[in-house]
Chain A
Amino acid sequence: MKATPLSNCERRFLLRAIEERKRLDGRQCYDYRNVRISFGADYGCCIVELGKTRVLAQVSCELVPPKPNRPTEGILFFNLELSPMAAPGFEPGRQSELLVKLNRLIERCLRNSRCIDTESLCVVAGEKVWQIRLDLHLLNHDGNIIDAASIAGIVALCHFRRPDVSVQGEEVTVYTPEERDPVPLSIHHMPICVSFAFFQQGTYLLVDPSEREERVMDGLLVIAMNKHREICTIQSSGGIMLVKDQVLRCSKITAVKVAEITELIQKALENDQKVRKEGGKFGFAESIPNQKITAFKMESAAVNTNNVEEQAEEIITKADPPSEVFAKPILHTPGTAQIGEGIENSWGDLEESEREEAAEEEDESEATAFECQTMETEDTSTMRETKKDEPIVLSDSEEEEVVILEPQELPRKTRTQTNLKQENTSKKAFNKRRRKKRAA
């Protein structure tokens, strides 16, 4: 199918908005969208959601003879696929330029940075080595595939466990997971890509461009860095001229972002580890809500888009996405306090009310709804309180010292019942539908 063309007025509007430092979803120029990581039942399978962009990563391994020129090293194979499910413009089987570029970037980021110790993958030198295969599938395209894919890739690799092997003389025994616990891969560091979109010949810069912004950008700069501030890969495309201090500034921003994301990843991995050990439920079946008849679920991202969940049952914690920028220190509902400062933001009203609605909406049926959004990236205590089988929603924000406590168990049920009196029948329909779903 052909992708929807971008109309002139959209293009003009986006550029004008960027000149005024406004983004469509109300983020600031250097803000990331919410990153959400959830793991599947198998080791090495995870889904990363960056806003609405979703990537599924799966790692698998196999014993094969090594390459002749590298007899003591394991083999790594990376593959990224863009399915038509992600965007109408993607066609199956066709090698588009975008696909090639993304694949190359992922390979450079993960292979050339030597984040995985390939020597440890060797079983019998010259005869048998492990071949690790990473498959990335793009499930939904809402901009910035590279970042999401790199996060998914590295998380899946960290999460993966390969079967244990022992060599006795000439005999090689591969143990099944039942006999011996599988062994994790040896990973030195976690390179993560951060994308910067440039507009108006490099005058304006945006981090984590969304799909619309990608369409109007002039150029893209991708920097892959690990938390030790080592640059693994850097690529500039689009042919724009960048001044050197712009590149330096970008690399500083990258360092900050990568630190945050790495922490997020660590927490997610730890949580999943804990859940598995304690025998709790894990895997996609638990983390992806049931009764997802329609995919009409929006996340509540603070600053702007009011994304209120349609399905009350779910989520909550899922949707708990940490808002990224908190504007005003205002008490918007009893029990909800905002500490810390934020930049004066005229989105303030919209965001608070939306967030409040989102909170209330979400609290509807969850008995133990506990929402505590922390903006501090170091604070882990709240995360542990979320249900174990829910995916970890960790905030990714530049703001610090802001804690939002949303009230528990707001009496939302009464509200929907009063809707019966409403004049507008279609709203009734929506509520009915919602109630029906809940009852179902």
Chain B
Amino acid sequence: RRCGAGLLVTKCGLLRHRQAGGGGAAGGAYWVDSQQKRYVPVKGDHVIGIVTAKAGDVFKLDVGGSEQASLSYLAFEGATKRNRPNVQVGDLIYGQFLVANKDMEPEMVCIDSSGRSSGMGIIGQDGFLFKVSLGLIRKLLAPKCEIIQELSQLYPFELVLGMNGRIWVKAKTVQQTLIIVNILEACEYMTAEQRKQALAKLSGH
């Protein structure tokens, strides 16, 4: 946060720096890597929401913030007034925030600016949803995340990561899904080597 001529730190954590160059980043960037579990909606974030109510043309979703987000039924790819998306209460939706102020009800959409869904929308029926801390999500979303690569060598699975701390996993059997869930939850506390050991044992068997 800016304060006069300088900057004020509003969150505790490690200060990080990324060098300029390499792609389109304009200049280096500094940010504070903080760790927390409670999510605050931010514009542009992709999150997983749970549908809690259908109110006319709008769905109400729980995203883990202080207010429920609203999602219009027209905000899906290929949706028209006649062709409504088939969304029930209790379904999972992956979308991004269009409007997200700290104190207002956030709005979500499932299409991007060009009108395509690009992976967003209703998440399938099977699979399991669980919650982790926000720091872990950011780690997993980093490009070339080792955890995901290592996991993918174990068994095939589908994974959706929401910036609100929610992860949806689906693997072929319940057992495999549970294993992945537990590994991801534990990744928070394991060092890379412990994780490699764990995965080695799993794949060894």
Q: Is the CB of B190 within 8 A of A357?
A: yes
In the bound complex, what is the Cα–Cα distance between A343 and B202 (angstroms)? 18
Q: Is the CB of A7 within 8 A of B91?
A: yes
Q: Is A387 an interface residue (CB 8 A)?
A: no
Taking CB atoms and an 8 Å cut-off, the chain A residues in 345-384 that contact chain B are 346-350, 352-354, 356-357, 360-361
Taking CB atoms and an 8 Å cut-off, the chain B residues in 125-143 that contact chain A are 125-129, 133, 135, 138-139, 142
Q: Is the CB of B201 within 8 A of A10?
A: no
Interface residues of chain A: helix, strand, loop or mixed (majority): helix
In the bound complex, what is the Cα–Cα distance between A266 and B126 (angstroms)? 45
Nearest-neighbor residue (CB-CB) of A436 within chain B: B14
Given A308-B186, A352-B201, A427-B191: A9 touches B125 (CB 8 Å cut-off): yes
Per CB-CB distance, the 10 closest pairs between chain A and chain B, nearest first, are A8-B90, A306-B186, A357-B194, A353-B198, A349-B201, A308-B189, A13-B128, A7-B50, A353-B201, A426-B139
Q: Which residues of B contact A294 (CB under 8 A)?
A: 35
Q: Which residues of B contact A219 (CB under 8 A)?
A: none
Q: Which residues of B contact A17 (CB under 8 A)?
A: 174, 178
Given A7-B92, A9-B92: A304 touches B123 (CB 8 Å cut-off): no
Find A348's partner among B92, B190, B205 (CB 8 Å cutoff).
Answer: B205
Q: Which residues of B contact A6 (CB under 8 A)?
A: 90
A395 CB to closest chain B CB (Å) equals 20
B147 CB to closest chain A CB (Å) equals 9
In the bound complex, what is the Cα–Cα distance between A348 and B201 (angstroms)? 9
Q: Is the CB of B174 within 8 A of A296?
A: no
A330 CB to closest chain B CB (Å) equals 10
Q: Is the CB of A353 within 8 A of B197?
A: yes
List A residues at the B interface (Cβ < 8 Å): 2, 4-13, 16-17, 20, 22, 24-26, 294, 296, 298, 304-310, 346-350, 352-354, 356-357, 360-361, 415-416, 418-419, 422-427, 429-433
Q: Is B33 an interface residue (CB 8 A)?
A: yes
In the bound complex, what is the Cα–Cα distance between A379 and B67 (angstroms)? 52
B30 CB to closest chain A CB (Å) equals 14
Q: Is the CB of A433 within 8 A of B50?
A: no
Given A8-B91, A9-B123, A12-B126: A306 touches B178 (CB 8 Å cut-off): no
Q: Which residues of B contact A347 (CB under 8 A)?
A: 179
Nearest-neighbor residue (CB-CB) of B138 within chain A: A426
B129 CB to closest chain A CB (Å) equals 5
Q: Is the CB of B14 within 8 A of A429?
A: yes
Q: Which residues of B contact A426 (CB under 8 A)?
A: 33, 135, 138-139, 142
List B residues at the A interface (Cβ < 8 Å): 14, 16, 33, 35, 50, 52, 62, 64, 88, 90-92, 123-129, 133, 135, 138-139, 142, 145-146, 168, 174-175, 177-179, 181-183, 185-186, 188-194, 197-198, 201-202, 204-205
Nearest-neighbor residue (CB-CB) of A412 within chain B: B191
Q: Is the CB of B133 within 8 A of A296?
A: yes
In the bound complex, what is the Cα–Cα distance between A16 and B126 (angstroms)? 10
Given A361-B194, A429-B14: A350 touches B90 (CB 8 Å cut-off): no
Q: Which residues of B contact A424 (CB under 8 A)?
A: 139, 142, 145-146, 192
A132 CB to closest chain B CB (Å) equals 39
Nearest-neighbor residue (CB-CB) of A348 within chain B: B205
Q: Which residues of B contact A5 (CB under 8 A)?
A: 50, 52, 62, 90
Q: Is the CB of A350 within 8 A of B62?
A: no
Given A5-B50, A296-B189, A350-B179: A20 touches B126 (CB 8 Å cut-off): no
Q: Is the CB of B189 within 8 A of A8?
A: no
In the bound complex, what is the Cα–Cα distance between A3 and B124 (angstroms)? 23
In the bound complex, what is the Cα–Cα distance between A24 and B198 (angstroms)? 18
Q: Which residues of B contact A308 (CB under 8 A)?
A: 186, 189-190, 194
In the bound complex, what is the Cα–Cα distance between A75 and B133 (angstroms)? 47
Nearest-neighbor residue (CB-CB) of B197 within chain A: A353
Q: Which residues of B contact A422 (CB under 8 A)?
A: 192
Q: Which residues of B contact A8 (CB under 8 A)?
A: 88, 90-92, 125
Find A306's partner among B125, B139, B183, B204 (CB 8 Å cutoff).
Answer: B183
Q: Is the CB of B186 within 8 A of A433?
A: no
Q: Which residues of A contact B138 (CB under 8 A)?
A: 426
In the bound complex, what is the Cα–Cα distance between A356 and B197 (angstroms)? 10
Given A5-B90, A10-B129: A350 touches B202 (CB 8 Å cut-off): yes
Find A433's partner among B14, B182, B205 (CB 8 Å cutoff).
Answer: B14
Given A10-B129, A353-B201, A424-B146: A415 touches B191 (CB 8 Å cut-off): yes
A428 CB to closest chain B CB (Å) equals 9
Q: Which residues of B contact A416 (CB under 8 A)?
A: 191
Q: Is the CB of B125 within 8 A of A4?
A: no
Q: Is the CB of B128 within 8 A of A431?
A: no
The 7 sampled A-B contact pairs (Cβ below 8 Å) are: A8-B91, A8-B92, A9-B92, A305-B182, A307-B189, A347-B179, A431-B191
Find B198's partner among A354, A415, A427 (CB 8 Å cutoff).
Answer: A354
Q: Is the CB of B192 within 8 A of A309?
A: no
Find B175's partner among A346, A360, A430 (CB 8 Å cutoff).
Answer: A346
Q: Is the CB of B62 within 8 A of A4?
A: yes
In the bound complex, what is the Cα–Cα distance between A415 and B123 (angstroms)? 40
Nearest-neighbor residue (CB-CB) of A423 within chain B: B146
Nearest-neighbor residue (CB-CB) of A347 within chain B: B179
In the bound complex, what is the Cα–Cα distance between A416 and B179 (angstroms)? 26
Q: Is the CB of A9 within 8 A of B182?
A: no
Q: Which residues of A contact B198 (CB under 8 A)?
A: 306, 349-350, 353-354, 357
Q: Which residues of A contact B178 (CB under 8 A)?
A: 17, 22, 24, 26, 304
Given A306-B186, A354-B198: A419 touches B91 (CB 8 Å cut-off): no
Q: Which residues of B contact A296 (CB under 8 A)?
A: 35, 133, 188-189
Q: Is the CB of B189 within 8 A of A309?
A: yes
